[in-house]
Homo-oligomer: A and B are copies of this chain.
Amino acid sequence: MKKIIQDALSGNIRAISRLVTLVESQSPDAKSIMQDIYPHTGHAHIIGVTGSPGAGKSTFCDRLVDEFLEQNKKVAVIAIDPSSPFTGGAILGDRLRMQHLALSQNVFIRSMGSRGSLGGVSAATWEASLIFDACGYDIILVETVGVGQSEIDIMKIADTVCLILTPGMGDDIQIMKAGIMEIADIFVINKCDREGAEKVASDVSAMLKMFTTNSWIPSVRLVSSYSNIGFAEVANDIFSHEAFLSNTPAGKNKLLDRAALEMEKLLLNDLSQKVSLLWKAKCSVELLEKLSCRKINPYLLTSEITNEILK
């Protein structure tokens, strides 16, 4: 295992891939891998890319990666496909679309399937980005399909969040519902050659004025993945936001908040795994039948078990 970690830290792609798989599958080695990897992290910038289905997130990522490659950055892309709880598999559409990038030595593309467990995807995504960070990637792009609570949780691990909107999709209300608006640092109006793009941009700018409690004022950029317009500007905004995080008190506070959130998640995750094991050991058909026909009160049983395991 030490050998694999050493190889990964020196940039060996197969070793990196192996580590991510071990961590994602929650192998018994996962914890010690992360302990060893962690001291090497802290260099990469993590960019979250989100937006409604059909907003063109994958193509946007594709072009943004090209932009970073031109600047001689090493880029890792983590594409999150909520997997079927039934098959455990994932639909590879988004990944396939990015395939031309797979030819570059400086890009690593990884699909993550959600493990169906609460916090599963966001934990795995966070740990994969730590691995990429430790192994020398400068930029980590995390792309999530769709907008929802778990996507928001995933986006919270990012340093900079790009929200992709498109003209004429009625996106605005959906986004406000999902609460992603407040965590976006850069608003990207994709497909800007379509009618209505300027309108979306000005609507977003107007909305942002209502929410300016942050000292970072989110930028609003018109972009076209198809005509390759606006990507240098988005990359610039990302670097400005990176500077904001490290050089201003408000930015530093944001990083502290994130550290607190990460630590809480790690704790929860660790305990969740222990609780799941414990519950699997206790659980029997007889017990479930009693629960199912209300002969056992699950709230009382919970207190009993909690008292059993906590000091």
Q: Which residue of B lies closest to A170 (CB)?
A: B54
Query: Is A61 on the interface with B (CB-CB < 8 A)?
Result: no
Copies assembled: 2
Q: Among the listed stretches A6-14, A63-71, A235-243, A261-269, which one makes contact with chain B, having 4 or more residues with CB under 8 Å of it?
A: A261-269
* Cβ–Cβ contact A309 & B306, under 8 A: no
**How far is B274's CA from A108's CA once the two chains are assembled, in angstroms?**
39
Query: Is A249 on the interface with B (CB-CB < 8 A)?
Result: no
Q: Which residue of B lies closest to A94 (CB)?
A: B177
Q: Among the listed stretches A37-45, A193-201, A221-229, which one makes contact with chain B, having 4 or more residues with CB under 8 Å of it?
A: A37-45
* Cβ–Cβ contact A179 & B82, under 8 A: yes
Residues of A within 8 A of B (CB): 31, 34-35, 38-39, 41-42, 52-54, 81-87, 90-91, 93, 114, 116, 118-119, 121-122, 145-153, 170, 173-174, 176-179, 181-183, 211, 252, 255-256, 258-260, 262-268, 270-272, 274-276, 278-279, 283, 285, 288-289, 291-294, 297-303, 305-306, 308-311
For the complex of A and B, the 7 pairs showing the least CB-CB separation, nearest first, are: A148-B148, A86-B182, A84-B179, A149-B150, A259-B291, A35-B299, A256-B288
